[in-house]
């Protein structure tokens, strides 16, 4: 089969890779209908993370081709959405809602879903079947549920977005934009996004943002304070993962408020004294997307939400390199790849 490999930072290739097969009796193999490039794929692309000849991709929707002997819930022919961590969905950690930290968790990224086929471990615990074959226009939104929507949603839940709350979102990538959508669905009263890109601002407003703040750092914090009677936001979603964005998120939050951080941290060192006196709640990490998938699929299936709008570039799998390049240069919010 054909699949994306990152040969080295900045060097994305589409190559012949071995066809995936059932390895464990709990595996499924899916024919990938759509995959995409994640903001986190840009860390190795930019050389911030080491990479050498790595299969890429951890977001996916597709049709089940084969299942192992112990797969019970998922059937051949099902159209499925899955999370970027395989999980058994039965252990104590999964039952508490933290499937991305399942005691048997396996990162799907190591397998590479930017390909024609993919092996999905722990299929019963990882995949959720849609009610039937989706209409083509639903595919991008279902694909978004696999990571960026699930991650933005977790960020908003971790930040305790809800009725009466002012929510601020740091980061205007796909995850940040979908955190806006999530905050709106969760009933937030006011939703502020930090953004200085007109196209992203437009989409944020479409998703439910009520205010845009173009300033960053101390000036951005000052703007949030001004919008909230000097107190700061009740809830702040951090969707970048840098020292600057984490500190902007913490400083934008009122004492007793909640920071939900879902940007994969890179080089972050949180100053204990400042954090202590901030009095905020901090929660985040790799989103337990599986927790939210049934609800998200339902909202998409019923056309209540349209998170697929974050895909502003669609390419054949063979042109994956252009998808990475467009996202790296911020010409695209998010690139969908069709195998």
Residues near its own copies (CB under 8 A): 92-93, 96-98, 100-101, 103, 229-231, 241, 243, 246, 254-256, 261, 264-273, 275-286, 288
Our CB check for its own copies shows the closer of 133 and 270 to be: 270
Q: Which residues contact 297 (CB under 8 A, 6 or more apart)?
A: 81, 128, 130, 142, 145
Our CB check for its own copies shows the closer of 92 and 329 to be: 92
Our CB check for its own copies shows the closer of 54 and 268 to be: 268
H/E stretch holding 338:
strand 335-338
Q: Closest separation between CB of residue 98 and its own copies, Å?
A: 4
Report yes or no: 280 and 253 within 8 Å, Cβ to Cβ.
Answer: yes
- Tokens for 247, please give them: 């500190």
Our CB check for its own copies shows the closer of 198 and 269 to be: 269
Our CB check for its own copies shows the closer of 105 and 204 to be: 105
- Tokens for 335, please give them: 């690139």
Q: Closest separation between CB of residue 250 and its own copies, Å?
A: 11
Q: Closest separation between CB of residue 308 and its own copies, Å?
A: 27
Our CB check for its own copies shows the closer of 134 and 173 to be: 173
Distance of alpha carbon 61 from the chain centroid: 14
Q: Closest separation between CB of residue 251 and its own copies, Å?
A: 14
Dist CA 250 CA 252 (whole Å): 5
Q: Closest separation between CB of residue 128 and its own copies, Å?
A: 20
Report yes or no: 235 and 167 within 8 Å, Cβ to Cβ.
Answer: yes
Question: Which residue carries 């977790």 as its tokens?
Answer: 154
Dist CA 227 CA 225 (whole Å): 5
Dist CA 334 CA 95 (whole Å): 32
Dist CA 260 CA 262 (whole Å): 7
């Amino acid at each position: 089969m054909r699949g994306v490999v990152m040969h080295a930072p900045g060097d994305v290739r589409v190559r012949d890779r071995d066809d995936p097969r059932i390895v464990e009796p709990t595996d499924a193999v899916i024919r990938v209908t759509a995959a995409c490039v994640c903001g986190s794929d840009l860390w190795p692309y930019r050389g911030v993370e080491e990479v050498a000849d790595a299969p890429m991709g951890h977001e996916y929707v597709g049709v089940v081709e084969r299942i192992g002997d112990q797969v019970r819930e998922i059937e051949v022919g099902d159209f499925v959405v899955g999370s970027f961590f395989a999980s058994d969905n039965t252990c104590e950690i999964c039952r508490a809602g933290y499937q991305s930290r399942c005691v048997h968790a396996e990162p799907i990224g190591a397998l590479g879903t930017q390909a024609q086929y993919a092996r999905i471990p722990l299929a019963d615990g990882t995949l959720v079947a849609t009610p039937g074959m989706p209409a083509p226009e639903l595919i991008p939104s279902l694909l978004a549920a696999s990571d960026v929507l699930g991650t933005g949603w977790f960020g908003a839940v971790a930040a305790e977005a809800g009725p009466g709350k002012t929510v601020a979102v740091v980061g205007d990538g796909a995850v940040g934009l979908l955190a806006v959508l999530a905050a709106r669905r969760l009933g937030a009263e006011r939703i502020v996004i930090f953004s200085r890109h007109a196209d992203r601002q437009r989409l944020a407003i479409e998703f439910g943002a009520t205010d845009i703040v173009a300033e960053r750092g101390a000036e951005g914090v000052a703007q949030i304070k001004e919008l909230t009677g000097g107190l700061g936001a009740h809830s702040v979603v951090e969707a970048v993962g840098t020292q600057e964005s984490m500190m902007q998120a913490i400083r934008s939050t009122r004492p007793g408020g909640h920071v939900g951080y879902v940007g994969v941290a890179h080089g972050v060192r949180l100053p204990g004294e400042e954090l202590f006196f901030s009095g905020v709640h901090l929660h985040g990490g790799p989103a337990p997307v599986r927790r939210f998938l049934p609800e998200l699929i339902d909202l998409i299936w019923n056309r209540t939400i349209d998170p697929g709008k974050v895909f502003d570039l669609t390419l054949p799998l063979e042109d994956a390199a252009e998808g990475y390049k467009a996202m790296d240069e911020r010409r695209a919010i998010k690139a969908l790849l069709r195998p």
